[in-house]
Structure 1
């Protein structure tokens, strides 16, 4: 891990469509309705998958997916597709269709087991209602696609926050704390030590990744040559957690079976409400499939793996 001192960028307020609060948005800002012909095209993909036949091309869905890419990169940073028949042909076919859509958006990333992960919930409570600070879907990818296969009425809402709006609120309250969040800190990622700041600017593009638990875990391990955490970092984390819990910033979504939620984790943070489970685990109140995708125009910095 490098201990070289890097110059901090001068923080400025973030602007643009990706800087939003819950009250700024209506469903029309994030919902992407799908027409009958597009749904029939995916139905053909699902049917072919079940029959182990060649998967037909997604010709009619291509313009919708191009719009999705623009929304994720330069728009609100997230969207939800509704009206596709993902939930009508079983989990295996849904996973194959999700992978086919992911290949139209970018490059699906492999995990240790398979590209598509099974997530069920509810996960153990965290944050203000649980035992520690909130944890978010912060992963080395450009898009996270969450496909809902089951979501009972008792399931908790899925919470999104705009990282740019969080950044601006921290700036308003405490500029010194914001400076701490622009300073790279040692953390553990996939068991390996790296350095990363919460907020970064790379070639004019804003990106944000918050993994407090990974920073605090790294601070408890002996790491020769690693710089110590600054005295102001934990208070800055506390302020960040407080801002992330502001009701005005939190958009609550309740996906329906068949819905596909996509978000860019560099500009939209989603609280974890689900846990990764084996494919043969018993049914749960919530069942989702997750696909991680890399896009051609990435906000990931050179300090990050993947």
Structure 2
């Protein structure tokens, strides 16, 4: 074996609190209690942001946010904060407070000159696909999704445990699971890369699945490029089927002011929103997204394509 060749891990069943099914959980497993004093502190921060003043330190919220960080990394992989007045002072103030809150969890990512993105629904149908929106994974360690408006006709937000999906694929077809541990070419942030769906790095499990990015790379004319392995697309089909199992899917209906946070390496969220311009007209579904990198990251270095 050459010095640059790393042995592939032998897949084993995943365990721990991040491996769950919808039936396993109650609201107490993912809801983070917020007291009146913490809510008042955020109210003051929003008032300051609305007046274009510096956002004061979130000292009372800091212990709650430390608990959130632990839940994302070593707990269920997601949580929801309810009872904070995010939706009462306008979108610009909410965006500033969201960034201040994200700084307690890690380092907010600035993409395209802004840390916060505006999301509305529904998402456009991905080219060449049919059926419900696919799960969409992003290159960060945590995603904070703030609900500012969510009409009664809006679809539920669907999440699955990547560890539970892994185990179900293993139960059904170990050969397919092995394919998902092999790096495949994909387009990420506009560049060619290679990544496996499932990885183990120093004992830490991570899972990132964006089938559309792999299909986009395969469709590019690449002289001398190797074709996708014959077993990869059937493995993707099985993965999609498992992700659609009703017993695995947790459905949440965010309320205005709710803040949903999840670790995309452990929890996959179905795409139900699309990014739109911050200055576009208001929509029935209004969300703000903050992407964060954390000190303890499950991301792995992409192998060259």
TM range (shorter): over 0.9
State the shift of 1:243 in Å: 0.2
C-alpha separation in 1, matches of 2:178 and 2:250: 26
What is the CA-CA distance between 1:9 and the residue it aligns to? 1.0
2:53 is equivalent to residue 72 of structure 1: no
Deviation at 1:5, TM superposition (A): 6.0
Gaps of 5+ in 1: none
TM-score for both structures, normalised by structure 1: 0.94
Q: Is 1:133–1:241's contact at 8 Å kept on the other side of the alignment? A: no
Equivalent-residue separation in structure 2 for 1:134 and 1:289 (angstroms)? 19
Instruction: Measure how far apart 1:52 and its partner are.
Output: 2.1
Paired position in structure 1 for 2:13: 13
The count of aligned residue pairs is: 300
Alpha-carbon deviations, 1:147-169, whole Å to 9, x = none?
00000110000000000000000
Aligned to 2:198: 199
Secondary structure at the aligned position of 2:289 is classed as strand
Residue 57 (structure 1) shift: 1.0
Q: Is residue 45 of structure 1 aligned with residue 40 of structure 2? A: no
TM-score normalised by length of structure 2? 0.95
Q: 5 Å matches for 1:261-276?
A: 261-276=260-275
Aligned residues of 1:99 and 1:108 also touching (Cα < 8 A): yes
- For residues 44-102 of structure 1, the C-alpha deviation after alignment (integer angstroms, 9 at most, x for no partner) is 10111112223211111000000000000000000000010000000000000000000
Give RMSD over aligned pairs. 1.7
Partner of 1:245: 244
Change (3 A) 1:219 1:125: closer
Give the Å deviation of 1:134.
4.2
Question: Aligned partners of 2:37, 2:23: CA distance in 1, in Å?
Answer: 33
Corresponding residue for residue 186 of structure 1 = 185
Superposition misfits of 4+ residues, deviation over 6 angstroms: none
Partner of 2:226: 227
Corresponding residue for residue 153 of structure 1: 152
Q: Give the superposition deviation at 1:133.
A: 6.9
Q: Secondary structure at the match of 2:199?
A: strand
Task: Please give the alpha-carbon distance, in whole angstroms, between the structure 2 residues aligned to 1:222 and 1:53.
Answer: 52
| Equivalent in the alignment of 1:93 | 93
Say which is worse superposed, 295-304 or 258-267, in terms of deviation: 295-304
Which ranges in structure 2 are unaligned for 5 or more consecutive residues? none
Shift, 1:210, TM fit: 0.4
The alignment partner of 1:104 has SS state of: coil
For residues 83 and 111 of structure 1, the distance between their equivalents in structure 2, rounded to whole angstroms, comes to 29
Q: Decide which moves more: 218-227 or 52-61.
A: 218-227
Hey, what's the Cα distance between the residues in 1 that align with 2:122 and 2:184? 31
CA contact (8 A) 1:21 1:161 kept: yes
